[in-house]
Structure 1
Amino acid sequence: MLKAIEPMNNTLQQIIFQAMNTTVEIAFWGQKEQVPSIERRAHDWFEQVEMSFSRFRPQSELSRLNRFPGRRSTVSAPMLEILLLAEKYHQLTQGIFDPLIGKALQDSGYNESYEIVKEREQWELAPDIAIIQNKNKAGQAAFQDRVLSSTLPRRKQKIQIDLLSKSVQIPVQTEIDLGGIAKSWAVKGLAEQLHGRLGFERGLINAGGDLTVWGNSGADADPWLIGIENPWAPEDEIGILSLSDGAVATSSKLGRTWASKQGKMHHLIDPRTMAPSTSDVVQCTVSGNDVVACEIWAKVICILGREQGLDLFSRWTTGYEAFVFTEERRCYKWRSSS
């Protein structure tokens, strides 16, 4: 949902397209004649990001890196930048954000793009899946406990990054997944191009819930109005955020789900168990000044749960807000100290 005062001679221009397995929306104040060039730039940018960071493209830089764990490889400047960011947040979140979950995602069944995973579940399920899905809550908890008890402990090895040689080495028997952080990084990078390089004074970029806005902080401008998705009814908005300059990101255990022979799965892997998280949080929306930080903290709170997640969030962020939705269908709002 967008709303703002229009500068003289400019109108609100909007672009919508598919990239990185999600819908990308761009809005900016400018001239209609500028739309084609901005659309081409945005398409090219997201394509470059996918060719660097997608684990579903065999020829991507990430796929090539994952094929040689234990071997030092020279990487591009964008890959070096995002791996440094990933390791920074790995340390900051005490290991809960972990890029080395690629194998765990594959083991859970997320080894192809989500559309393919979602389609194939209908014919791959074993007959006993219906029994698992119809168990009572106690039975489901016992099933989850068996899954958790069979998984690996949190990793102790690090991604080795050499800034001088611009090379990295990932630990043996591991694979990197950069899906979430790459998407938010792409949003931030495109915003820097449109705002910083091309000079568009007001704009919005939203890629599947990773969103950044700028330029609506003047006295003559109304803020952007950003809807918060209802986790149990995605077509509805459960609240509205008023945002002038800043970012919002949402992470959810209810969105990207699929059935497997081990039961219902989702994409938020708990690195302590290398299995989908079983915390009490089903969705978290975080707002702040950096879309990458918002995306990572939303994911971390979903994985850790409300109490532990908000405790860590409070200790390492300033001026960020979190909207936490729990299994009991309650919403908690939390703001880290300024």
Structure 2
Amino acid sequence: MSPTTTWRDWSCRVRVTLAAGSDADLEASARIVRDLMDDVAIAVSRFRDDSDLTRVNARAGALIPVSALTVQLVEVALDAARRTDGAVDPTVGGHLLDAGYTDDIDAVRSRPRRGVAVPGMAASWAAVAVHRDLRLVGIPVGLRLDLGATAKAWTADEAARRVHTRLGVPALVEIGGDLSVAGPVPQPWRIDVAEVAGDPAYRVEVTHGGLATSSVLARAWTSDRGPEHHVIDPRTSRPARGSVRTATVWAPTAVEANTWSTAAIVWGDSAEARLLEAGVDARLVDADGRSTLLGAWPADERVTA
């Protein structure tokens, strides 16, 4: 058996698994992941009053001094926007508030939420200003940053890399729907993927890279407008209402996998063609529960309880 430890943070399950037979300290691996998650939260959490992201959002229209980590994470988010022609846009923070995602997801789900009317403008990732050498980030008045689509995946990638480098063993790190592996393993990691935690899952095997699942079912709640979810379509400024309800993607990194899985939800009907054009391996589930396998996604997946 592979040594594993799990806990909850960032409103999701965090899991660290080391290769079977490893003599490395599991608690040490957990500390590495926790410390990195703390650093990322102080950089870009929109739920912390003392984060760099909160300060940037509060002072829209100005260039704000931030940490080197914040600059890096903003650049990762902008690259995702660029690669998806704006489908994965980090400037939808105000639109998430408008949809009622104003608090930790567990708190949002506990009661109907009213959207918070935030005077703003359409999402515009190209309007974000970043000065890497000076460590400055700025957004126009009317926009708010939210890096949820990429920062969690980046953290999984970096955490797996750090655990492998520092402890010298192959490692798997999962944060919510974003999973990353680092280090060579004699046998593939067997991963069970479900649309919603607790539902029947299908099993895939991964030897390297990252796996990400985006879904309109997972982070969902009810606002005064009705059912809502966390994947915002930048074209409408509202939660995406396309034909893809869940997308799972394998890619060389969790960041890239998450970028494509999130974009698939936004693209809807055109997701299959766009992902095929990009050479992406994916499993798409439509609104009726039918699945479509793309690229090298294994056709012999096994369903588990």
Q: Same fold, TM exceeding 0.5?
A: yes
| Match of residue 209 from structure 1 | 177
| Match of residue 87 from structure 1 | 78
Structure 2 distance, partners of 1:192, 1:60, is: 24
1:216 Cα shift? 4.7
| Match of residue 286 from structure 1 | 249
Structure 1 distance, partners of 2:26, 2:96, is: 38
Alpha carbons 2:190, 2:203 under 8 Å: kept: yes
**SS of the residue 1:94 aligns to:** coil
1:247 Cα shift? 1.2
Residue type at the aligned position of 2:79:
K
Between 271-280 and 71-80, the greater mean CA deviation after superposition:
71-80
Alpha carbons 1:152, 1:272 under 8 Å: kept: no
**SS of the residue 2:111 aligns to:** helix
Instruction: Work out whether 1:313 is the aligned partner of 2:278.
Output: no
1:326 to 286, 292, 298: 286
Alpha carbons 1:19, 1:47 under 8 Å: kept: no
The change in CA–CA distance for 1:156 and 1:78 in structure 2 (over 3 A counts) is closer
1:238 Cα shift? 3.9
Deviations 1:80-119 (A, max 9, x none): 1111111112111111110000100001100111111111
Between 84-93 and 207-216, the greater mean CA deviation after superposition:
207-216
- List alignment gaps of at least 5 residues for structure 2: 115-119, 298-305
| Match of residue 193 from structure 2 | 228
Instruction: Work out whether 1:74 is the aligned partner of 2:65.
Output: yes
Which of these two proteins has the greater Rg computed from alpha carbons? 1
Q: 1:22-171 to 2 correspondence within 5 Å?
A: 22-29=12-19, 30-31=22-23, 34-121=25-112, 153-155=122-124, 157-171=126-140
- List alignment gaps of at least 5 residues for structure 1: 4-11, 126-150
1:190 to 146, 159, 163: 159
Q: 1:169-180 to 2 correspondence within 5 Å?
A: 169-180=138-149
Alpha carbons 1:252, 1:302 under 8 Å: kept: yes
Residue type at the aligned position of 2:158:
G
Structure 1 distance, partners of 2:182, 2:63, is: 39
Structure 1 distance, partners of 2:122, 2:66, is: 29
1:236 Cα shift? 3.4
Structure 1 distance, partners of 2:14, 2:197, is: 17
Deviations 1:214-271 (A, max 9, x none): 3455xxx221111121x3x642344211111121100000111111111111111000
| Match of residue 211 from structure 2 | 248
Structure 2 distance, partners of 1:167, 1:152, is: 22
**SS of the residue 1:66 aligns to:** helix
Deviations 1:30-83 (A, max 9, x none): 326x22322222222211211211101111111111111110112211111111
Alpha carbons 1:184, 1:210 under 8 Å: kept: yes
The change in CA–CA distance for 1:336 and 1:310 in structure 2 (over 3 A counts) is farther
Structure 2 distance, partners of 1:292, 1:283, is: 17
**SS of the residue 1:110 aligns to:** coil
Structure 2 distance, partners of 1:160, 1:249, is: 28
**SS of the residue 2:199 aligns to:** strand
Q: Using structure 1 for the length normalisation, give the TM-score.
A: 0.80
Structure 2 distance, partners of 1:62, 1:212, is: 25
Report sequence identity in percent.
28
Regions of 4+ moved over 6 Å: none
Structure 2 distance, partners of 1:197, 1:38, is: 9
**SS of the residue 1:285 aligns to:** strand
Residue type at the aligned position of 1:193:
R
